[in-house]
Amino acid sequence: MSTVFIAIPVLLLLTVVQSTILAQVTILGATPQLLPLFVLAWAMVRGSAEGLIWAFVAGLFIDLFSVSPLGISSLALMTAVLLVTTLQQNIALNRFFIPMILGGIGMFTFSLVSVLLLRLSGYPIVWSSVATVPVTVVLHAFMILPIYWIIDSLNNRFMARRRIPTT
């Protein structure tokens, strides 16, 4: 069974939480981004095939609740998922450091590709928000741990027999 039927309601709920509650929260000038973190953690646990589906859906939801052109966040998040899952295949499994490192790399990739695509689309770039990228990367490297652990535990408990291999 594909997890796309799980993805839509979960990501919609996370989008509402992100847009209403977390949009008001700043930590050292950076706003926590729940959807990219959740998608990156899901991809690390379930593989690139499912991660790409979740990234596409989450990106559409992000763009629907922002002023970005539709599809920018999907492309950026799918790029981050591909990079993270490719890197993950080449390193030893670890439930602490690897999710942190890959989460930071994924958030950096998501941020960088988003800015590049927005600029290519003709949107002006707010350079003060670009300046928060290092803080965003470090913040999200730590924030991904509990999300990763929860998804990994749920996967081991309920979905491990149906794991889709990464490609």
pLDDT digits (tens, 9 = 90+) for 107-138: 999 999 999 999 999 988 777 778 888 999 99
Contact, 71 vs 123, CB < 8 A? Answer: no
Q: Which two tokens stand for residue 152?
A: 């990994």
Q: What is the pTM of this model?
A: 0.89
Q: 4-161 — its CATH code?
A: 1.10.1760
Within 10 A of 116 (CB to CB), how many other CB atoms are there? 15
pLDDT digits (tens, 9 = 90+) for 147-162: 999 999 988 888 765 5
Give the whole-angstrom CA distance, residue 100 versus residue 162: 25
Q: Which two tokens stand for residue 113?
A: 């590709």
Helix axes of 48-64 and 4-20: crossing angle, nearest 10 degrees: 40
For residue 63, the one-letter residue type is D
pLDDT digits (tens, 9 = 90+) for 47-93: 999 999 999 999 999 999 888 899 999 999 999 999 999 999 888 77
Give the residue extent of every domain in the chain.
4-161
